[in-house]
């Protein structure tokens, strides 16, 4: 949620960071909605332990709807060829190329 809040509070900075991807498209008037994806582990790691599975499900259910919780298995099976991955370094968010 910290990343989502930062992104909403610094939308102008976020758009500057992603500007190279929009060189051929003007996004000025587009609706901008910030979402975050928490990707952790593999499905088999979650399902092997009942307590871990219940905890994982509760995290997904209780999370803000702007934060999507998933495993790497789901990330790999969905159509994510246009996924933009960010990293946080030196107190700044940086866009990276897709890792899928």
Tell me how many helices (H) and strands (E) the chain has: 5, 4
Q: Dump pLDDT digits (tens) for 3-16.
A: 888 888 998 888 88
Residue ranges per structural domain of the chain:
2-19+33-96
Q: Dump pLDDT digits (tens) for 64-89.
A: 678 888 888 877 666 655 666 667 77
Q: What is the residue whose two structure tokens read 């399902």?
A: 47
pLDDT at 100 over 50: no
Comparing CA positions, the residue from 77, 84, 88 lying closest to residue 42 is 77
Average pLDDT, the chain: 76
């Amino acid at each position: 949620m910290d990343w989502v809040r930062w992104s909403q509070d610094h939308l102008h900075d976020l758009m500057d960071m992603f500007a190279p991807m929009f060189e051929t498209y003007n996004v000025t008037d587009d609706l901008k909605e910030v979402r975050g994806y928490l990707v952790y582990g593999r499905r088999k790691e979650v399902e092997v332990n009942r307590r871990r599975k219940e905890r994982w499900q509760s995290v997904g259910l209780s999370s803000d709807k702007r934060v999507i919780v998933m495993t790497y298995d789901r990330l790999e099976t969905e159509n994510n060829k246009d996924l933009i991955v960010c990293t946080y370094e030196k107190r700044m968010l940086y866009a990276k190329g897709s890792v899928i």
